[in-house]
């Protein structure tokens, strides 16, 4: 025994290495080349196979790529967490890239006059009246918010406002411009405002744009609203409030106004949304108001804040301030305040790190906040940004990060593939081993069972099993059910292979020797013969892993695998089964398709390489 | 041969009944109660005791209290139904679809026709391409052309069918605009005759293309491997040694022998396509075929329809296995079966 071991590796003769290290080293780094006859005696078949395999560049490349993909999908989910309930209507189908906070250098150089943040894009005006658009400004194939009308380019813009899919701009003479998606009247100004654009009879004080509607406050205390009034409550009670409006704040679906007596009021006739239920505290003494998507924050004369509406992500958890508030600005789920001493405080929803104010920020002069983005201009005129930069691989139809789903889905798909192969191996090797070793009646029974199982149509049968068994169980249980189904339906192939090998091996001398020594049959099968058969089974197991992954993803694709919202590579592609998505939102299927395709190709190449390596003909004998 | 055939058919029938019994058992795992469905509307109009009594009577009448094996025998048509006559699968009663409100047998016609057309066309095209291509690759093994084709075949058989489907929709329907993205005919069209046929073919073209591509990959590899194996045989060396032209060696000596193992894998592949591949394809291209009917039945928990279709799939795959074995013995006289 000892003699053999030392022959296998000369270097291990002196001291004994840890068995795993020894195996790996023997497999991958054979210390000397042996000629064919010496090799016949000294080198284990597995080592020959490994050497053959590693002499094939394609197979080795495939192995490396596959290992990288596997490492990636098993390590990355620890860093890229997935919130299964996560979805946001404003982040639907965002294209890949980190452009949302990329402020044009020229804007920073010329000095910021105003910045407004819309859904996934921002608009800025510099002190010379030029206008800039950055972020995801391409809404559809036709509508691009960066297509700024000529008249706007020529005008000296002083104020901008950005909504979900349209932009408002105000020039130094009081003209209001609007462009963007026209479908719901976002860009059609009221007649009086339109004529004022030419006559300039009154000045414009504030412009606001939100989810498909706009609100304008004039110098003489009036309000104009326009846009999609089916979705939002943009009624304005002109008789009551005309001449008294000082300021306005917009939320997702409505707006509120600040009157000249320091009270906050709804602009319309009757409240429909939670934010329109104005609390008593803001009936007087209000200095300014801002809105987030579902709340309104009012800064009082005494420097305190009153927040009402429907806070969902902690918009009302106001932290303690070090000095009085100078200005407050609202994003979608967060609020950012600029204090008298120039420090900036942010609170509310932090899904995209929009409340993590950078430490190196200087003394801030102006603050521009919206959606998930923050821009702070300090006294030097340089712009500091924080919040959502964008998505590496874009988002899907529910506003979910494709990258996060890709890595977590990959983990799921690979886990299911691997575990179902393990189940397949356990059943296949045990039954194949028993059938092959004992033969006769046992063999007949096992083979008949195998034939029944293999004659069942695979995918339809897996579908009905998953439909019947998976309806009343949790996602996790369903995942295990899928693994078991895949394992149970795919063992016959491996079983036949093991059985055939068993027939050949059981007549060999070492088995006879083991029998003569009185070794138990169970031990002969599973510790003596099976290890010798394993190298042949390796190809079958490798390819089975690929097949399991494919079957799982096909099942998930058809809706009978792992159910949504838990991602797998298969059910991520279900969403892409739609010509509109295939055409316009390529990032929803290209990335997942590419990585999945690559993984499958790699597995098959590894399997092919192993098969060639195992083929004695290929060794020139 | 006759004895073998008989043995195989008996075996097929036994397996069919074993699978159908298993399917029926799985089907009965679903907690469904036809008696309760019928009695539920009466719950308010009757006294509770009266309702319970009638409910149990109905259960007994419908035979729901009988053991599973008895119900299976009734469903299959081995035993008399509760109304005293044989009325099961064997008598042609495939059940009643609750989601379509029609007999299952009436539902199967059109989808089956569509599926068979799709599979037949793609099989014929695949075979017409794959055999010459495989032979070409084997003859010119390890040359540039062969390597290029090998790359395509690896991609073709590694990628899942639905991914190739999406990719082909993008390339041929979206980018090039040659084919429609899905459906069976131009919506609202009233074509007749040749135009109807052409319209249908236009819609079937892309799914066929996908099936051909996936089939091509696996089959070309099989043909190539078989051909290369044959070309290394001694009789080929003999043929070459006696000075035969390479053409004669390949087309007269080698390829017929190479096709022997291929012919068996063709059947296996066709079954796979019919039961698995077309299921995915029909879903991707919204074709009204058996696969789509099966999916919609599963989604609507229309289990009588599911069960009937499952039986159909089982039968297809069993007959396929039988035909594979038979074709093996028919094309290769070396394989002896009269044991």
In this predicted model, what pLDDT tens digit does every residue of A5-14 receive, in sequence order?
444 444 444 4
In this predicted model, what pLDDT tens digit does every residue of A396-433 receive, in sequence order?
888 888 888 889 888 888 888 899 999 999 999 889 88
Widest Cα–Cα separation across chain B: 98
A–B: how many Cβ contacts below 8 A? 119
Sort out which chain B residues have CB atoms less than 8 A from A459's CB and list them. 275-276, 279-280
Chain A contact present for B205, CB below 8 A:
no
In this predicted model, what pLDDT tens digit does every residue of A470-487 receive, in sequence order?
667 777 788 888 888 888
- Asked if the model's pLDDT at residue A542 lies above 80, the reply is yes
In this predicted model, what pLDDT tens digit does every residue of A322-365 receive, in sequence order?
888 888 888 888 888 888 887 888 888 888 888 888 887 778 88
- Beta strands A204-209; A295-300: pairing state: unpaired
Residue B298 and residue A463: Cβ atoms within 8 Å?
yes
Strand partners for A169: A160, A177
CA B188 to chain centre: 30
pLDDT score for A23? 64
Sort out which chain A residues have CB atoms less than 8 A from B294's CB and list them. 460, 463
Average pLDDT, stretch B270-293?
Answer: 78
A577, closest residue in chain B (CA to CA)? B284
Sort out which chain A residues have CB atoms less than 8 A from B170's CB and list them. 582-583, 586
Residue A547 sits at the vertex; the CA angle it makes with A56 and B165, to the nearest 5 degrees, is 100
Sort out which chain A residues have CB atoms less than 8 A from B306's CB and list them. 464, 467
Cα of first residue to Cα of last residue in chain A, in angstroms, is 29
Residues 6+ apart with CB under 8 A from B234: none
In this predicted model, what pLDDT tens digit does every residue of A239-283 receive, in sequence order?
888 888 888 888 888 888 888 888 888 888 888 888 888 888 888
Determine which of A20-34, B36-50, B200-214, B312-326 has the lowest per-residue pLDDT on average: A20-34
Percent of chain B with pLDDT over 70: 89
Q: Which of A403-407, B97-101, B267-271 has the highest mean pLDDT?
A: A403-407
Confidence bin at A496 (pLDDT 50/70/90)? confident
CA pair distance B55, B93, nearest whole angstrom: 26
Residue A600 and residue B158: Cβ atoms within 8 Å?
yes
Higher pLDDT, A67 or A453: A67
Distance from CA of A452 to the nearest CA of B (A): 6
Average pLDDT, stretch B222-251?
Answer: 85
pLDDT score for A566? 84
Average pLDDT value over all residues in chain B:
79
CA pair distance B202, B206, nearest whole angstrom: 8
CA pair distance A36, A42, nearest whole angstrom: 10
CA pair distance B103, B302, nearest whole angstrom: 12
CA pair distance A525, A83, nearest whole angstrom: 48
| pTM for the whole structure | 0.81
- Secondary structure of A87-105 in the HEC alphabet? CCHHHCCCCCECCCCCCCH
Residue B309 and residue A460: Cβ atoms within 8 Å?
yes
Residue A557 and residue B162: Cβ atoms within 8 Å?
yes
Determine which of A459-463, A607-611, B156-160 has the lowest per-residue pLDDT on average: A459-463
- Helices B303-331 and B290-299: angle between axes, nearest 10 degrees: 150
Sort out which chain A residues have CB atoms less than 8 A from B19's CB and list them. 452, 455-456
pLDDT score for A299? 87
Percent of chain B with pLDDT over 90: 0
């Amino acid at each position: 025994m000892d003699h053999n071991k030392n022959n296998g590796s000369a270097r291990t003769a002196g001291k004994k290495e840890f068995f795993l290290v020894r195996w790996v080293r023997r497999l991958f780094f054979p210390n000397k080349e042996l000629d064919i006859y010496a090799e016949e005696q000294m080198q284990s078949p597995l080592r020959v196979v490994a050497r053959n395999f590693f002499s094939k560049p394609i197979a080795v490349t495939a192995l490396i790529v596959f290992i990288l993909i596997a490492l990636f999908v098993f390590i990355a989910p620890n860093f890229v967490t997935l919130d299964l309930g996560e979805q946001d209507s404003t982040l639907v189908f965002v294209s890949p890239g980190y452009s949302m906070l990329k402020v044009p250098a020229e804007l920073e150089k010329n000095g910021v006059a105003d910045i407004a943040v819309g859904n996934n894009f921002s608009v800025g005006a510099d002190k010379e009246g030029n206008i800039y658009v950055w972020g995801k400004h391409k809404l559809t194939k036709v509508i691009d918010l960066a297509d700024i009308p000529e008249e706007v380019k020529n005008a000296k813009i002083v104020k901008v406002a950005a909504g979900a899919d349209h932009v408002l701009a105000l020039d130094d003479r009081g003209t209001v411009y609007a462009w963007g998606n026209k479908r719901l009247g976002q860009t059609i100004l009221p007649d009086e405002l339109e004529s004022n654009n030419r006559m300039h009879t009154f000045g414009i004080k504030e412009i606001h744009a939100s989810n498909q509607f706009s609100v304008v406050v004039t110098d003489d205390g009036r309000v104009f609203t326009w846009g999609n009034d089916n979705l939002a409550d943009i009624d304005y009670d002109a008789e009551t409030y005309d001449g008294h409006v000082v300021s306005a704040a917009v939320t997702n679906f409505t707006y509120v106004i600040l009157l000249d007596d320091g009270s906050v009021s709804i602009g319309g006739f009757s409240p429909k949304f939670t934010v329109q239920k104005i609390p008593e505290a803001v009936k007087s003494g209000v200095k300014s108001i801002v809105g987030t998507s579902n709340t309104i924050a009012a800064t009082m004369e005494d420097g305190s804040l009153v927040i009402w509406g429907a806070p969902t992500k902690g918009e009302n958890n106001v932290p303690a301030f070090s000095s009085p508030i100078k200005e407050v600005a609202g994003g979608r789920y967060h609020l950012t305040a600029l204090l008298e001493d120039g420090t900036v405080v942010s609170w509310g929803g932090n899904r995209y790190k929009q409340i993590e104010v950078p430490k190196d920020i200087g003394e801030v002069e102006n603050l521009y906040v919206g959606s998930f983005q923050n821009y702070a201009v300090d006294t030097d005129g340089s712009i500091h940004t924080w919040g959502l930069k964008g998505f590496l691989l874009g988002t899907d139809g529910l506003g979910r990060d494709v990258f996060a789903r890709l890595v977590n889905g990959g983990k799921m798909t690979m886990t299911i593939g691997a575990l179902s192969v393990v189940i397949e191996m356990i059943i296949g090797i045990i039954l194949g081993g028993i059938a092959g070793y004992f033969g006769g009646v046992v063999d007949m029974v096992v083979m008949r069972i195998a034939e029944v199982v293999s004659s069942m149509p695979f995918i339809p049968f897996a579908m009905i099993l998953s439909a019947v068994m998976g309806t009343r169980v949790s996602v996790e249980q369903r995942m295990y059910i899928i693994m078991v189904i895949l394992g149970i339906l795919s063992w016959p192939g491996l079983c036949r292979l093991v059985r055939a090998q068993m027939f050949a091996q059981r007549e060999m001398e070492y088995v006879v020797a083991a029998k003569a020594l009185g070794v138990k049959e169970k031990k002969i099968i599973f510790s003596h013969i099976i290890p010798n058969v394993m190298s042949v089974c390796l190809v079958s197991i490798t390819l089975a892993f690929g097949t399991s992954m494919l079957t799982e993803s096909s099942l998930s694709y058809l809706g009978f695998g792992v159910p949504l919202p838990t991602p797998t590579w298969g059910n991520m592609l279900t969403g892409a089964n739609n010509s509109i998505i295939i055409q316009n939102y390529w990032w929803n299927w290209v990335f997942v398709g590419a990585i999945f395709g690559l993984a499958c190709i790699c597995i098959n190449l590894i399997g092919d390489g192993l098969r060639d390596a195992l083929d004695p003909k290929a060794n020139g004998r | 041969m006759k004895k073998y055939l008989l043995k195989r058919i008996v075996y097929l029938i036994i397996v069919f009944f074993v699978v159908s019994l298993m399917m029926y058992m799985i089907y009965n795992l679903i907690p469904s109660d036809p008696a309760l469905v019928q009695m539920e509307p009466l719950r308010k109009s009757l006294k509770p005791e009266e309702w319970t009594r009638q409910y149990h009577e109905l259960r007994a009448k419908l035979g729901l209290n009988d053991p599973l094996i008895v119900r299976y025998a009734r469903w299959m048509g081995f035993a008399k139904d509760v109304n005293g006559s044989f009325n099961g699968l064997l008598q042609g009663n495939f059940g009643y679809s609750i989601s379509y409100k029609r007999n299952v047998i009436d539902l199967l016609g059109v989808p089956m026709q569509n599926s068979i057309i799709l599979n037949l066309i793609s099989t014929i095209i695949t075979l017409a391409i794959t055999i010459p291509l495989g032979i070409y690759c084997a003859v010119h093994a390890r040359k540039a052309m062969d390597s290029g084709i090998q790359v395509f075949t690896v991609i073709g058989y590694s990628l899942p069918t639905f991914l190739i489907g999406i990719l082909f929709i993008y390339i041929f329907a979206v980018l090039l605009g040659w084919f429609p993205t899905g459906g069976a005919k131009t919506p609202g069209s009233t074509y007749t005759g040749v135009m109807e046929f052409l319209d249908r073919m236009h819609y079937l073209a892309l799914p066929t293309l996908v099936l051909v591509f996936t089939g091509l990959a696996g089959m070309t590899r099989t043909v190539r491997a078989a051909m290369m194996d044959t070309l290394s045989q001694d009789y080929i060396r003999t043929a070459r040694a006696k000075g035969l032209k390479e053409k004669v060696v390949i087309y007269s000596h080698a390829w017929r022998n190479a096709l022997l193992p291929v012919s068996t894998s063709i059947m296996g592949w066709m079954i796979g396509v019919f039961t698995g591949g077309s299921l995915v394809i029909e879903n991707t291209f919204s074709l009204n075929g058996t696969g789509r009917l099966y999916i919609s039945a599963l989604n609507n928990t229309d289990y009588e329809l599911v069960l009937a279709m499952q039986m159909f799939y089982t039968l297809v795959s069993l007959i396929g296995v039988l035909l594979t074995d038979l074709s093996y013995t028919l094309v290769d006289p070396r394989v002896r079966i009269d044991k």
